[in-house]
Amino acid sequence: MDIRKIGVIGAGQMGNGIAHVAALAGIDVSLHDISEDRIKSGLATINGNMSRQLSKNLITEEDRQKALLRIEGAPKVDDLADCDLVIEAATENEQVKVKIFQSVCPVLRPDAILATNTSSISITRLASTTDRPERFIGIHFMNPVPVMQLVELIRGIATEDETFEASRALCTKLGKTIAVAEDFPAFIVNRILLPMINEAIYTLYEGVGSVEAIDTAMRLGANHPMGPLQLADFIGLDTCLSVMQVLYEGLADSKYRPCPLLVKYVEAGWLGRKSQRGFYDYRGERPVPTR
């Protein structure tokens, strides 16, 4: 199955990144979100990110122009009717995702593939809420999508080989490298990464080190390109908390208990970069630790 047009549901940091790389790879994209404003803001981010790639000579002006023309805003789910594959990249919340699948399934062609970019939720369980478990799959891009090389591909229990192969071919066309993961909570990357981030937050919570000390320690002591608290802000603290909750509930092991400080930050609306405040405050000229 040749995928020529994709639909992306959710124009946030992951959705606009997926639309960005697909359009540059010559695929038509319909970008959907809950409001015209969110779609506009996603399109503006893509425009800005492509301009940055242009200034670094990673793409040409012609590439940018052509790619931007391939992306159209899709204010209604009905606008996704002619897509070969639709990928859901909305908020990491099972109920939100299930509602989206219920509204989009009746619109799609029977042979269209439905994918999710979930960071942690069971692909099999999400698939079972749709009319097409055989044509449902997890395609887990990394953030930021235009920069990160990896995609995890996750089959649900019913995913057909044809769905898997078409998704694999799509990822290859987007220039990504694939790691196949089994359908267990948080798959591979986040099963390993998020408990490390959660532990960094406990380290802050227990006063073992300051925000700066923890991030410096892991950058210079473990050779990580960025500190775990900076990375948490980058991922989004709401997403980090959701992944920890899925691990905690899904594996029923207390070692995955979300740090109460992470819960508190999310309750405060301090979600990291996207809300201008998390472990760092981004409202000034340069980020400074919040506390």
Ligand X SMILES: NC(=O)c1ccc[n+]([C@@H]2O[C@H](COP(=O)([O-])OP(=O)(O)OC[C@H]3O[C@@H](n4cnc5c(N)ncnc54)[C@H](O)[C@@H]3O)[C@@H](O)[C@H]2O)c1
Question: What's the residue count for the chain?
Answer: 291
**Tokens representing residue 206 in the block:** 């227990």
Q: In the annotation, is 119 catalytic?
A: yes
User: Can you list the alpha helix ranges (DSSP code H) found in the chain?
Assistant: 13-24, 36-55, 61-70, 94-104, 123-127, 161-173, 189-205, 211-221, 228-235, 237-251, 260-267
Instruction: Write the single-letter amino acid at 206.
Output: E
Stretch that binds ligand X, among 33-41, 43-51, 125-133, 254-262 (CB under 6 A): 33-41
Query: Is 190 one of the annotated active-site residues of the chain?
Result: yes
42 is in an annotated binding site: no
Is 10 annotated for ligand binding?
A: yes
Subset of residues 208 to 237 that bind ligand X, contact rule: CB under 6 A: 235-236
Are 168 and 153 in contact, with CB atoms under 8 Å apart? yes
Residue closer to ligand X, measured from CB, 28 or 238: 238
Residue 210, classified by CB atoms within 10 Å of its CB into exposed (0-12), middle (13-18) or buried (19+), is middle
Nearest to 53 by CA among 44, 43, 63: 63
Residue whose CB is less far from ligand X, 195 or 209? 195
Site string for ligand X, 105-144 (x = CB under 6 A): ------------xxx--------------------xxxx-
Q: How far is the CB of 82 from ligand X (least distance, A)?
A: 18
Catalytic residue status for 152: yes
151: three-class secondary structure by DSSP = strand
Compute the least distance from the CB of residue 171 to ligand X, in Å. Answer: 14
Binding site, annotated residues for NAD(+): 10-15, 33, 92, 97, 119, 143, 274
The footprint of ligand X (CB under 6 A) covers 9-15, 32-34, 38, 89-92, 96, 100, 117-119, 140-143, 235-236, 239, 274
Q: What residues are annotated to the active site?
A: 119, 140, 152, 190
